Amino acid sequence: MLRWIILLIIYVILDLYAFQAFKTVSKNNWFHLSYWLISILVVGNFIFNYYGFNRRDGFSHAHAYAFGFFIAILIPKMILFIGMFTEDVFRVPQAIYRYFTEGDVAKGNYFASRRQFISKMALGIAAIPLASIIYGIYKGKYNFKVLKYTLTFEDLPSAFDGYKITQLSDIHSGSFDDIEKVKYAVGLVNEQQSDVIVFTGDMVNNKAEEMLPYLDVFNKLEAKDGKFSILGNHDYGDYAAWDSETAKHQNLEDLKTIQKQIGFDLLLNESRFLEKNGERIALVGVENWGTGGFKQAGDLKKASQNIQANDFKVLMSHDPTHWEKKVIQDEYHYHLTLSGHTHGMQFGIEIPGWFKWSPAKWRYKYWAGIYKEMGQYINVNRGFGYLAFPGRVGIWPEITVIELKKGISNT
């Protein structure tokens, strides 16, 4: 309760400051009333959905949109607060000076009027994240992008020169609210005509049943050399409230069955060989392994027990911290690791080939795209779906296509 009171006090302070910008540029009472009405409705809806909320009870679409709209107005108000507060840094000393120098002459009007220029500039800047977040909620979360990479390896078997891998990750089917958009994305995957499709974990938010409405959508994925998958941290049901351990276990078994129905070969600390013209590459799949309190069920040694040191290896591991902490130091050389998990925080700024930023970089060293360390590559997929915040801003849902080439290794 105390936490909510403190948060509410902070929000009221932000709101009062933000209102000053609106009040400065417009004297229309209906405009002022609309401001407070929207603010109260959004905050009230957020409190209604989250007061007493327990993540294990489930995260509904109502929770997602309450959070999304709250963020949509909170960030612009923080910008307005900074603008108005910065102006007060100058107004307050001036008022104090006038109090002691002008006395009764000022008749209590010690504060200089707020300048419309400052308010308009603050409102203009605040409008950018507001519009971006609203776009992200209604359009951005389904703004699927096909990102293509070509990676060159000296020891790639010749038969696999030009071999194409499509990677999907973090479907989070329980978050979807538009099946037609999902169908479009699956069609986009098939258009790539890749040799193999791999899915690197988090098919659901919590429960296997979330995937049931999408069985006939995802089973249309096609790849001539098969479809392979692993588990992510959300797939184990660790974040849901279960009546018993038996129910939780059954949920995981149900998810395994669903993956089979879709056509995925689920690798549980296992490996498979992809063969072509008498040559082969190893596809290795580990269960989730992550730091920061995430499940560590992944067993790299067990997963690789049937492959040779000189095999060309593609590793599927959901959390990129596994690559950072374990994989690149392993005695086996894993040529390419495919991960997801971070979602790129679903928020950031990217100018392809020039600039890439997201708050995710404060949590993960490798958070989106291709990285190379010690002669080994990792691709961190930005995710197919979304979680918690019902949108994406600047970090779009991703379908990755990686073409393997034989030749001198990329620098």
Question: Please, are residues 59 and 388 in contact by the beta-carbon 8 Å criterion?
Answer: yes
The string of pLDDT tens digits covering residues 161-191 is 999 999 999 999 999 999 999 999 999 999 9
State the distance between the two ends of the chain, measured CA to CA, in whole angstroms.
Answer: 55
| Averaged pLDDT for residues 313-317 | 98
Instruction: Summarize the confidence of residues 391-397 as an average pLDDT.
Output: 97
Does residue 360 share a domain with residue 280?
A: yes
- Say which range, 157-171, 349-363, 378-392, has the weakest mean pLDDT: 349-363
Cα-atom radius of gyration of the chain, to the nearest Å?
A: 26
Residue 202: pLDDT band with limits 50, 70, 90: very high
Residue-wise pLDDT tens digits, 42-75:
999 999 998 887 777 777 899 999 999 999 999 9
The answer to the question of residue 231 being in a domain is yes
- The 10s digit of each residue's pLDDT in 217-261 is 999 999 999 999 999 999 999 999 999 999 999 999 999 999 999
Which band of pLDDT confidence, cut at 50, 70 and 90, is reported for residue 95? confident
One domain for residues 94 and 236: no
pTM for the complete prediction? 0.91
Q: How many domains does the chain have?
A: 2
Banded model confidence at residue 109, pLDDT cuts 50, 70, 90:
low
Kindly state whether residue 396 falls inside one of the protein's structural domains: yes
Shared domain for 159 and 124, answered yes or no, is no
| Mean pLDDT of the 198-202 span | 98
Both 162 and 216 in a single domain?
A: yes
Out of 98, 121, 138, a domain closes at 138
* CATH number for the domain harbouring residue 364: 3.60.21.10
Share of the chain above pLDDT 90, in %: 80
255 and 320, same domain (yes or no): yes
pLDDT grade for 107, boundaries at 50, 70 and 90: low
Residue that finishes a domain, picked among 138, 161, 193: 138
- Is residue 293 included in any domain, yes or no? yes
53/151 same-domain check: no
Domain stops at, among 121, 138, 155: 138
pLDDT more than 70, % of the chain? 95
Integer angstrom CA distances of residue 235 from 59, 202, 243, 366, 387? 15, 5, 17, 22, 13
Q: Are residues 158 and 307 in the same domain?
A: yes
91 and 207 share a domain?
Answer: no
Give the span between the Cα atoms of 377 and 314, in whole angstroms: 10
Same domain, 221 and 365: yes
Q: Is residue 29 part of a domain?
A: yes
Instruction: Output 345 or 25, whichever has higher pLDDT.
Output: 345
* 411 part of a folded domain: no
- Contact by Cβ (8 Å): 337, 378: yes
**Does residue 132 sit in the same domain as residue 148?**
no
Quick check: 378 pLDDT over 70?
yes
Report if residue 15 sits inside a domain. Answer: yes
* 127 and 204 belong to one structural domain: no
User: Which pLDDT value is given to residue 103?
Assistant: 59
Where b means 16+ CB within 10 Å and e means fewer, 55-64 reads: eeeebeeebb
Alpha-carbon distance values, 28 to 4, 20, 36, 119, 120 (Å)? 32, 13, 13, 16, 16
For 170, the domain range is 144-406
How high is the mean pLDDT of the chain?
A: 92
What is the band of 287 on the pLDDT scale with cuts at 50, 70, 90? very high
User: pLDDT band at residue 101, thresholds of 50, 70 and 90?
Assistant: confident
**Cβ count within 10 A of residue 316:** 25
Residue 408 pLDDT: 80
**357, part of any domain:** yes
Encode pLDDT of 2-29 as tens digits.
888 888 898 999 999 899 898 888 889 9
Using one digit for the tens of pLDDT, what is the confidence trace for 316-336?
A: 999 999 999 999 999 999 999
Extract the tokens encoding 98.
């006038």
The pLDDT, as a whole number, for residue 94 is 74
Confidence of residue 112 (pLDDT cuts 50, 70, 90): low
Note whether residue 262 is domain-resident.
yes
- Do residues 370 and 224 share a domain? yes
* pLDDT per position as a tens digit, 216-225: 999 999 999 9
Report the distance separating Cα 230 and Cα 259, nearest Å: 10
| Cβ partners under 8 Å of residue 60, min gap 6 | none
